[in-house]
Amino acid sequence: MAILVVDDSASMRQAVSIALKKGGYDVVEAADGKQALAKCTQKFQAVVLDKNMPVMDGFAFLKEFKATPQGRFTPVLMLTTESRQEDKMEGKKLGLTGWIVKPVKGDVLLATIKKIAK
Ligand SMILES: [Mg+2]
């Protein structure tokens, strides 16, 4: 299994991937929610999800992902520059496991993933 990393910023995806691979995780990357959904033919241990993305943003992806049989039980961590309380509450309602505000150190992200990944 692997961790799915969804972010429209290539450098962000790369930084997150490096941190997770250091922890021994395999990583699959997607540049937006639509790409991410297309990759959900396999199971993931967790999803690291950006909020603001073109084509399909983080919340739109989350809604569709949580409606799938495997997505329901897959932890999703939001990793975003946003920190509005309303967004966090909306995310929780949609089934988010956690919320981390960018920028985050690689080892902090890895420690969080270790706690939530299946
Ligand atoms: Mg973004």
CA of 99 to the centre of ligand 1 (A): 15
Q: How high is the pLDDT of residue 95?
A: 97
Q: How high is the pLDDT of residue 74?
A: 98
CA of 90 to the centre of ligand 1 (A): 18
CA of 98 to the centre of ligand 1 (A): 17
- C-alpha to C-alpha distance for 27 and 16, rounded to whole angstroms: 9
| For range 21-25, the mean pLDDT | 97
Tokens of 2: 């692997």
Mean pLDDT of the chain: 97
Domain that holds residue 36: 2-116
pLDDT tens track for 1-15:
899 999 999 999 999
- C-alpha to C-alpha distance for 33 and 31, rounded to whole angstroms: 7
CA of 54 to the centre of ligand 1 (A): 8
The structural domain count of the chain equals: 1
CA of 85 to the centre of ligand 1 (A): 18
110 touches 118 (CB < 8 A): no
| For range 28-39, the mean pLDDT | 98
Q: What is the pTM of this model?
A: 0.97
CATH number at residue 26: 3.40.50.2300
H or E element at residue 68? none
74 touches 56 (CB < 8 A): no
Residue with tokens 């509005």: 84
- C-alpha to C-alpha distance for 107 and 86, rounded to whole angstroms: 28
